[in-house]
Amino acid sequence: AIYQPGVRYHKAGIMLLDLIPWRPMQLGLLESEQSALKEKGGKTQKLMQTLDQLNHKMGRHTVAFGLPVEDARWQMKMAHRSPRYTTCWSEIPKAKAC
């Protein structure tokens, strides 16, 4: 088993980006792999197959799309977040005239 008592664990996530088939593909002179896959729908299909394989192997709902969960028991740590002066009214600095 992977779990070891006494070891501190953190929740982590993995993003699968730029998934492409490993088999060779014929591209046009000015065509990229991404554009060829998008036109054929291969990228979406490959992603879904990979997610299905991982969920089948490791258990249901192990891997999912990055959507917010309504009742998440964990919260993102924001102790080192930069101020949002330009986008959040409550964080605009206030100056008082003397």
Consecutive sets of 10 residues in the chain, 98 residues long: mean pLDDT of each?
A: 83 80 68 66 73 88 70 75 84 85
Alpha-carbon distance of 85 to 89, in angstroms, equals 7
Alpha-carbon distance of 35 to 43, in angstroms, equals 10
The predicted structure's pLDDT at residue 26? 67
The answer to whether position 45 is within a domain reads yes
The answer to whether position 71 is within a domain reads no
The answer to whether position 62 is within a domain reads yes
Contact 24, 37 (CB under 8 A): no
Instruction: Print the domain residue range for 51.
Output: 1-66
The predicted structure's pLDDT at residue 13? 84
The answer to whether position 23 is within a domain reads yes
The answer to whether position 91 is within a domain reads no
Query: How many C-beta neighbours within 10 Å does residue 37 have?
Result: 19
Alpha-carbon distance of 38 to 52, in angstroms, equals 20
The answer to whether position 15 is within a domain reads yes
* Tokens found for residue 12: 């982590």
Alpha-carbon distance of 62 to 49, in angstroms, equals 14
The answer to whether position 95 is within a domain reads no
Contact 44, 51 (CB under 8 A): no
What's the pTM value of the predicted model, to 2 decimals? 0.31
The answer to whether position 47 is within a domain reads yes
Per the structure, the count of domains in the chain is 1
